[in-house]
């Protein structure tokens, strides 16, 4: 198992270096989007409306941060269950999404799209949102403010700890025998 220090701007060119089970310290721009935001993004695509961020090359974190306490960049920011986004993910990957971050398994269609698009799925530690927030330097709402914690936010990560769960070759941490 290797530890990789990666900036999100390096995706997808570094995806081939990552193997399921590797550790990643991720820095750079990451966008939050959960269920309600994904639904709105797809409504925008259907209506031909410009998206709030460029999907191509983007990294998306399935998270809904808590309100920001005074003096901090963000509140608690742990992952949500990724499978709730499975219906949307293959199309976003086909549009160039490079990296997804969440927790839990993904379905076969998502796994196939990860391989097809040389993307990667990284897992964050569930239940450690307060600790994870210490690796987020800034947080700006960029879309769907009315969704509260589920609004789309632009985060700046600094050495955010993650595990490669599904690599671009089909290696899948959830299918490995221990």
Residue boundaries of the structural domains of the chain: 3-170
176 pLDDT exceeds 80? no
- 155 - beta bridge partners? 30, 139
How far apart are the C-alpha atoms of 131 and 67, rounded to whole Å? Answer: 15
- Stretch 3-17: mean pLDDT, rounded? 95
Strands (E), 15-119: 23-32, 59-61, 99-102
Q: What CATH number should be reported for the domain whose range is 3-170?
A: 3.20.130.10
Rounded alpha-carbon distances, angstroms, from residue 141 to 47, 50, 59, 101, 110:
22, 17, 16, 18, 27
What percentage of residues in the chain have a pLDDT greater than 90? 87
How far apart are the C-alpha atoms of 133 and 64, rounded to whole Å? Answer: 12
pLDDT, one tens digit per residue, over 63-92 is 999 988 898 899 999 999 999 999 999 999
45 pLDDT exceeds 90? yes
Catalytic annotation, residues:
38
pLDDT, one tens digit per residue, over 119-164 is 999 999 888 888 889 999 999 999 999 999 999 999 999 999 999 9
How far apart are the C-alpha atoms of 4 and 2, rounded to whole Å? Answer: 6
Rounded to a whole number of angstroms, the distance between the first and last alpha carbons of the chain is: 14
Residue 70: count other Cβ atoms within 10 Å of its Cβ: 4
Quick one: pLDDT at residue 1? Answer: 66
DSSP state of 63: B
């Amino acid at each position: 198992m290797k530890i990789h220090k990666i900036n999100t701007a390096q995706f997808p060119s570094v995806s081939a270096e990552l193997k399921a089970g590797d550790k990643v310290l991720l820095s750079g721009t990451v966008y939050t989007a959960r269920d309600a935001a994904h639904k709105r993004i797809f409504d925008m695509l259907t209506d031909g409306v410009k998206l709030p961020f460029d999907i191509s090359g983007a990294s998306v974190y399935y998270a809904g941060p808590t309100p920001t306490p005074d003096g901090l960049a963000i509140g608690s920011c742990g992952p949500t269950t990724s499978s709730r986004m499975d219906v949307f993910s293959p199309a976003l990957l086909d549009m160039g999404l490079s990296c997804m971050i969440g927790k839990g398994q993904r379905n076969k269609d998502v796994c196939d799209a990860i391989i097809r698009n040389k993307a990667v799925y990284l897992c964050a530690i569930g239940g450690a949102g307060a600790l994870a927030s210490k690796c987020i330097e800034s947080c700006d709402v960029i879309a769907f403010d009315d969704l509260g914690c589920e609004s789309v936010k632009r985060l700046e990560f600094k050495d955010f700890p993650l595990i490669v769960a599904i690599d671009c070759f089909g290696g899948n941490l959830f299918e490995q025998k221990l």
